[in-house]
Amino acid sequence: MKTQILLIAMISLSFQALTATKKCDCTEIVQSADCKGGCTWSSADSSCAAKTVDCATLTSQPTCDSESTCAWSDTTSKCAAFTACADYTVTTAEHCYYKNDTCIPGTAGADGKTPCKTGSVTCSSFTNASDCNGKSPSDTTMCWFKAGACTQFDISKCSAITDQDICSLFCKWNSTGTGSCAALTCGDRTTAETCKTVSSDDSSSVNICTFNTSTTKCEDAVDVSALTSSNCFDQTSGYYYWDGSVCSECSGSSSNGYILAFIGFIGMVMF
């Protein structure tokens, strides 16, 4: 029994890296400075809640379609909550993909307009990089233009990625031998500003990092005791929040994997 406890204590000492699996839900955040991103602060009752979007206030196709719950109608030139793919007929076929993840273009009519329909993305249907890159046939796959063709890649985890360009967006390419892709480690973060967190291989958790000012190296954090009300949330990428007295682990929603990060990244590049 005693040796077992000693063994467990030794094992836990050798795995000092601090991991977290959940970002905060808006409602568990207690100070306004941490209430950001998809959350909004109400000063009336000092509470944080998920942002709600009023589609009707969005007056252009790009701002409307970039909100996941809203969709622009070319027919009425108005923004409203997304209804069904078949309710949209667009002047640019590509815009069908913007209405909802479940929509694809149908066959263009004699007037040149394209009715949208429900369906799934097929990478091989795209003939150039701008239409191809970043489209996602499923939660774990992405299309990428490579050697003249739009190809489907598995991006469920860093170690499954076979393409150096895709790997290098969020993971780390190891060029030894035929090459392989792996998750970043805290040590790969080279500045104090970027030394916050790194995602695990399948992006289901993060390691919390800390910047060692004497060695100027980014290392695995052992705990968050040095974090304060002003840096707890940001230094942990929103996996911890300031609860009024200590930096406390979030119990909210779990991380959504690399696909959202990739899509977010592609979105930033496109718009």
Q: How far is the CB of 32 from ligand NAG (least distance, A)?
A: 30
Q: How far is the CB of 209 from ligand NAG (least distance, A)?
A: 12
- Chain position carrying tokens 């795209």: 126
Q: How far is the CB of 174 from ligand NAG (least distance, A)?
A: 4
Q: What is the DSSP letter of 22?
A: B
DSSP 27-66: GG--SGGG--TTEEEETTTTEEEE----GGG--SHHHHHT
Which residues are near ligand NAG by CB under 6 A? 84, 100-102, 127-128, 130-131, 174, 176-177, 180, 182, 212, 214-215
Question: Amino acid letter at 170?
Answer: F
Distance of alpha carbon 177 from alpha carbon 184, whole angstroms: 19
Residue 6 vs 270, nearer CB to ligand NAG: 270
Distance of alpha carbon 184 from alpha carbon 47, whole angstroms: 35
Residue 131 vs 201, nearer CB to ligand NAG: 131
Q: How far is the CB of 154 from ligand NAG (least distance, A)?
A: 19
- Per DSSP, helices labelled H in 61-199 are 61-65, 96-99, 129-132, 164-170
Question: Amino acid letter at 157?
Answer: K
Residue 59 vs 130, nearer CB to ligand NAG: 130
Q: Is 233 exposed, middle or buried (0-12, 13-18, 19+ CB in 10 A)?
A: buried
Question: Amino acid letter at 107?
Answer: T
Residue 53 vs 84, nearer CB to ligand NAG: 84
**Count of alpha carbons within 13 angstroms of residue 166, beta-carbon side:** 28
Q: How far is the CB of 121 from ligand NAG (least distance, A)?
A: 12
Residue 176 vs 225, nearer CB to ligand NAG: 176
Q: How far is the CB of 26 from ligand NAG (least distance, A)?
A: 20
Residue 42 vs 254, nearer CB to ligand NAG: 254
